[in-house]
Chains A and B, each alone.
Chain A
Amino acid sequence: MAVTAASPSGSAGHAHEGTYSGGLLSWITTVDHKRIGVMYGVSAFFFFLVGGIEALLIRLQLGSPESTLIDPDLYNQLFTMHGTTMVFLAIMPLSAAFFNFIVPLQIGARDVAFPRLNAFSFWVFFLGALFMNASFLFGGAPDAGWFGYANLTSTQYSPGIRVDFWVIGLLVLGVSSIAAALNFIVTIINLRCEGMTLMRMPLFTWMTLITSFLLVMAFPAITVGLVLLMFDRMFGTLFFNPMAGGDVLLWQHLFWIFGHPEVYILLLPGLGMVSEIIPVFSRKPLFGYAFVVYSGILIAFLGFGVWAHHMFAVGLGPVANTVFSAATMLIAIPTGVKIFNWIATLWGGSLRMRTPLYFSLGFIAMFIIGGLSGVMHASAAADLQQTDTYFIVAHIHYVLFGGVMFALFAGMYYWIPKVTGRMLSDRLGKLHFWIMLISFNLTFFPQHFLGLHGMPRRTFTYESGLGFEAMNLMSTVGSMFLGASMLIFIWNVLHMLRKGPPAGDDPWDGATLEWSMASPPPHYNFRALPVVHSRDPLWAADTTEAVPGDDPSVPEPHMPGPSYFPFVTAVGIVVMAAGGLTTALPVVAVGVALILFGIYGWAFQPLEH
């Protein structure tokens, strides 16, 4: 521990500002995992704000009964795009930002296994996200819910191109997710440095690996569902047409076979971050490392066997409902194991109450509440009362905001000093935390009661006199403060970029390899590849030997050169999507030509320039 203790005072001259230098073109052609991570982070946070504004508009409408602020049509678009944006354009890419920036550093690698494929994943995500949101400008956004239940999405009930935007947009985003996940599977399996055995990997890297496997296994199911829907809408097939024998429940099965693993795709990276942060700020190794790893694997495994708990109300029968109830309750066990492990890590530790730990503790508390309401509607009998009410809205926000977003903010406060080389203000961070924690609970806790009192979700208003007014008003006021807490965070980041004090290599006295190098890291990460002998290499006694770091006597390694082919290929995919949307075959042909040009250029371009 003593070896790194000197660094918090700052070795600012050490920082590699050159990691981010260069004009717009250098960002478009970059294949550096750190720059790609930054691009993921900035664009995901932008879409997080877009989805947040959609949520605030929803809350404004629901602040008073029989409000006419937002008409039903716009309301449908807002809740559809809020869900779609937060899941696919905010939380998943925000996790991807951390995968990109942190994982190669944590495993002692110079980049991901396929740097250009990585750039391709980002550009497909970014252009696909713009494509999806462009719907607001062209005839209205998707309005059939983020779950898109058949046959609400049929051309009969959803004419026009709104749902087509949603279908094609999600297909495009799926390409990005699967490509990125494949890349991280190979990276983590193959690029671990010497001595980094699987059971020495940092927890965040472990959860990234598990999440990546979930992605490649779960996305094909929704891809097939979306293709069926696209064929129904564009080519007149009958897959979801009950008049021709089609089964509308098939959509729900395909969607939720993807949709429930997706919950863990959103959650597991956050669990990994908290499992990194709590030990560092408790000055203790994680309690029961192996248990936490195996619990993560078990959660992922069970996650594929519980999808029908989203369908208790459709009448699958008592046998199916019982089995899925029991399987769902089983998931509470490995999840509970993790919570006990975190608490046991904190127990007896010498806690340093800094912002990342605040958010981690907030995460644990909020996630327990979300988990408890989850176990409640794991029971099919209880779920029949709660389904499609605000109780479910409260539950998912306790899991995805109280859980995932608190963990992601913990991760941001923890790792942004590594990304930028500067420290965020701890005072503003704690102010952000308290306002976010209180306003989050003010927003979502009353929704439990609203739901149990029978207020339906996805409905643009409610009548006065039903007893919903006071709690809805509380929720709306809370949401405004929740939005305001984001402004504190943004101010903190902007202030840091101009005046933040230098972070030094290792401001937190971290245990893992990313803290062994300059902040921001040089573009090649490690001059000589490190060798590790334990789970906490920087805390081990032989640190200097284990982590050669930025030894100037070792020549700078050659890194892959920039390439514009991933960008071209991504543009081709989105052009093809736009052509498909408008059924303009020449546009599709242009898209295909761009894709072919991009792929062949890519395949024959030497990696190094």
Chain B
Amino acid sequence: MSQTDAATMEMHSATGLPNRKVLMWAFIGSECMLFGSLIIVYMVYRGKSLVGPYPADLLNIPFITVTTFVLLMSSLMMVLALSAVQRGDMRWGKVWLFMTAFFGMIFLGGQVYEFTHFVHEGLTLQTNLFGGSFFLLTGTHGAHVTVGVIWLLSLFFMAQRGRLTQANAETVEIAGLYWHFVDVVWIVLFTLIYLLV
């Protein structure tokens, strides 16, 4: 957020790592505990619902496999975006930034479809423990993807106006750290919620 390591403040870094990158890593540590707690809630309540619909009735593994693949591909594009910005190729940098956000939006669209479908099938927050814990866990992840998409689009529009250049590669790198983390969380959720259904 704030560019405190501006040269004017003569703030050197004792570790050689940029302040913002250390901040993001510490934040990711905290986020691990957040998702860890939510995952524990989901796992504790697995199989504890007293009424249906149950996970096996609803979860559509082939469909989610496709959106999972889309999200993983967006991580690849994030890597390409950072690489392009780092070598000063802003044309491709913009393309890959936009594509990363776009693939994120496809994933979110899939989640919106999935949630709507579940509600039509009779699963809401109030139905049973599965409904509450599933919507809360995947919804929290979806909210993180949404923040990431807004962040990436902000970077894209900054690049459009020429306010994001090779000199700001670190900004893109930090957004990338966040994006990859959110993807890794999804791999865990995909495994625990869908594959272990």
Contact = CB atoms under 8 A, between A and B. Distances in A.
A250 interface: yes
Given A185-B22, A244-B128, A219 B30 contact: yes
A557 B10 contact: yes
B33 A192 contact: no
A237 B125 contact: yes
Interface stretch (A108-116, A126-134, A307-315): A108-116
B165 to A, nearest CB: 15
A244 B131 CA distance: 12
Contacts of A608: 6, 8
A554 to B, nearest CB: 11
A189 B1 contact: no
Given A186-B26, A220-B31, A244 B19 contact: no
B22 A236 contact: no
A538 B74 CA distance: 54
B50 to A, nearest CB: 5
Nearest to B34: A220
Interface stretch (B36-44, B55-63, B90-98, B115-123): B36-44
Main secondary structure of the interface of A (DSSP, over half): helix
A558 interface: yes
Given A190-B22, A557-B9, A247 B44 contact: yes
A561 to B, nearest CB: 11
Contacts of B41: 224, 228, 239, 250, 254
B1 A244 contact: no
Given A227-B136, A239-B129, A245 B19 contact: no
B30 A245 contact: no
B23 interface: yes
Interface in B100-130: 125-126, 128-129
A431 interface: no
B17 interface: yes
Contacts of B154: 600, 603
Given A189-B22, A217-B29, A235-B125, A250 B44 contact: yes
A231 B50 contact: no
Contacts of A224: 34, 37-38, 41
A189 B15 contact: yes
A472 to B, nearest CB: 40
Interface in A76-102: none
B87 interface: no
A217 B30 contact: yes
Contact of A602 (B1, B19, B33): B1
Interface string A213-226: 00011111101110
Contacts of B196: none
B50 A109 contact: no
Task: Identify the interface centre among A529, A557, A603: most chain B CB within 10 Å of its CB.
Answer: A603
B11 A109 contact: yes
A196 B14 CA distance: 9
Given A113-B23, A185-B26, A235 B11 contact: no
B30 A114 contact: no
Contacts of B11: 109-110, 113, 191
B103 to A, nearest CB: 24
Contacts of B36: 220
B191 interface: no
Interface in B124-156: 125-126, 128-129, 131-133, 136, 154
B63 to A, nearest CB: 25
A183 B154 CA distance: 24
A246 interface: yes
A178 interface: yes
Contact of B4 (A114, A235, A254, A557): A114
A224 B11 CA distance: 36
Interface in B46-97: 48-50
A607 B2 contact: yes
B33 to A, nearest CB: 4
A237 B48 CA distance: 14
A231 B136 contact: yes
B68 to A, nearest CB: 24
B9 A186 contact: no
B129 A113 contact: no
A254 B15 CA distance: 35
Given A190-B17, A557-B9, A114 B2 contact: yes
Contacts of B23: 113-114, 182-183, 185-186
A238 interface: yes
B33 A220 contact: yes
A305 to B, nearest CB: 15
A231 B125 contact: yes
A244 B17 CA distance: 50
Given A231-B136, A236-B125, A190 B14 contact: yes
A188 B6 CA distance: 18
Nearest to B137: A224
Contacts of A115: 2, 4
Contacts of A573: none
Given A189-B15, A190-B14, A216-B29, A607 B132 contact: no
B30 A117 contact: no
Nearest to B22: A186
B16 to A, nearest CB: 9
Contacts of A117: 1-2
A488 interface: no
Interchain residue pairs A-B with the least CB separation, the first 6: A220-B34, A237-B132, A224-B37, A220-B33, A216-B30, A192-B14
Given A189-B22, A603-B1, 9 more contacts: A114-B1, A186-B22, A196-B14, A216-B33, A250-B41, A254-B37, A560-B4, A599-B1, A608-B8
26 contacts: A110-B11, A111-B9, A113-B23, A114-B2, A114-B4, A182-B23, A182-B30, A189-B15, A190-B15, A191-B19, A216-B33, A218-B33, A220-B30, A220-B36, A231-B125, A235-B125, A236-B126, A237-B136, A238-B128, A244-B128, A245-B128, A250-B41, A557-B8, A560-B9, A600-B154, A608-B8
